[in-house]
Structure 1
């Protein structure tokens, strides 16, 4: 049995999570105090002082202690209780269904935020997916995996991005779609195995390009406070539990696995050939 699975490790992990949240609260308090104290100083001086103070307080990177969150979920088992984003549904709040819930056809898309092929799919096929949702031709369920965090390059970017997607969904379905598109966009998707999404500051920078999330304190607090970290891990478990899915991106239509289209025309042809 690994150390992580021992009761002592779980207690230690929970303590680290508590300390992490206390440290984050101190950093935010320090940030506010510095803004007030330096309000008479030039803008550049304020920015430099705040940046230095927060850096010295341990900021930057992914603020989530994923080991602690995982240990708590494991200990709670079927009784696990965790924050679920608004606009999520289903068992455990793990159904992210976008579009008319009464649409006759449902696509299910399986993706990992760090996956380069998923980025290509979203850039090439995404507009056709949006069009079909807007026209009421189908709705789309999104299921996110985080297996690339366990790859050779390691990191936490997939988990952190899924948690942030939960924060965006908590704002609105439109904010969720906009943020998802931004994550997978040519401008922001890291590719090459890099772990850019494992940095909360980078996540917020990307989110600032989405109208509903730009300057949205609710969203920023959820990212900084790891509000939907447990939800992200449970979402990853849902992805892993599907026996039909062996990689990303994967596509189902009305529960049937289909070959993944490479462009909008292929997506439309796929839909027309398999729709109800």
Structure 2
């Protein structure tokens, strides 16, 4: 007698076991994927823990939409400038790498006062763009008065701009700040994205100020007494301002 062929009821005990086996596989896969994602997340910034921090001997103050860096007792005749920059601007990155060391020396010597004014016009109105999120992270550090961390964090944002542009999430900015020594409160503020709206407002105020004084918005710009510092090459702005 030939054997009969029948369709197995998927609701039968054997079918349930099969379904639970599939569920178990899916859960394990999700855990593995989550681990890989989290591991990759950390690897974006873990190298910063071994980065040599820059020691600073100036003070910082966050007010009037700017982070002002100055010596504790600058010279009475120390020139004051507004440095406009956008964290998505490659020219700003180049300028920072070429002149930050000289600028730091002049500020620490009490010979110069710099108001660092962040812009975000390169986000083209996208409040979740790289410029705004980077500015929000830097703003959180600056508002907390963590001067050393701010300077080193800004250095990373500028020097590594090509590698991180549009690739970092709020978690990455937070992890970077943590690796550079930011306090736990600041790290969590960055991670939450709490200052993104404030950063957008700040950048807009700086853009309005720049346009009102010079008639246009672009970066990088160095403005003194309401006028662009006149140099053929902006990398020479310090020599022009300091009279070198």
Q: Same fold (TM over 0.5)?
A: yes
Asked if the contact 2:171/2:190 (under 8 Å) is kept, the reply is no
1:249-260 matched pairs, under 5 angstroms: 249-259=220-230
Larger Rg: 2
Asked if the contact 2:84/2:220 (under 8 Å) is kept, the reply is yes
Count of equivalent residues? 187
More strand by share: 2
Q: Which runs of 4+ in 1 moved over 6 A?
A: 53-56
TM-score by length of 1: 0.58
Q: Secondary structure at the match of 1:181?
A: helix
1:272 aligns with 2:242: yes
Asked if the contact 2:119/2:131 (under 8 Å) is kept, the reply is yes
* Offset, 1:126: 0.9
1:155-174 matched pairs, under 5 angstroms: 156-169=129-142, 170-174=144-148
Alignment root-mean-square deviation, CA: 3.4
Unaligned residue ranges in structure 2 (runs of 5+): 1-29, 42-59
Gap change, CA 1:208 and 1:221, over 3 Å in 2: closer
Inter-partner Cα distance in structure 2 for 1:136 and 1:159: 31
Inter-partner Cα distance in structure 2 for 1:101 and 1:108: 19
1:1-276 matched pairs, under 5 angstroms: 49=31, 52=34, 87-90=61-64, 94-100=65-71, 103=74, 104-150=78-124, 156-169=129-142, 170-185=144-159, 188-190=160-162, 194-197=165-168, 199-210=169-180, 212-213=181-182, 216-241=183-208, 242-243=210-211, 244=214, 245-259=216-230, 261-263=233-235, 266-273=236-243
Q: Secondary structure at the match of 1:107?
A: strand
* Offset, 1:54: 11
Asked if the contact 2:136/2:190 (under 8 Å) is kept, the reply is yes
TM-score by length of 2: 0.65
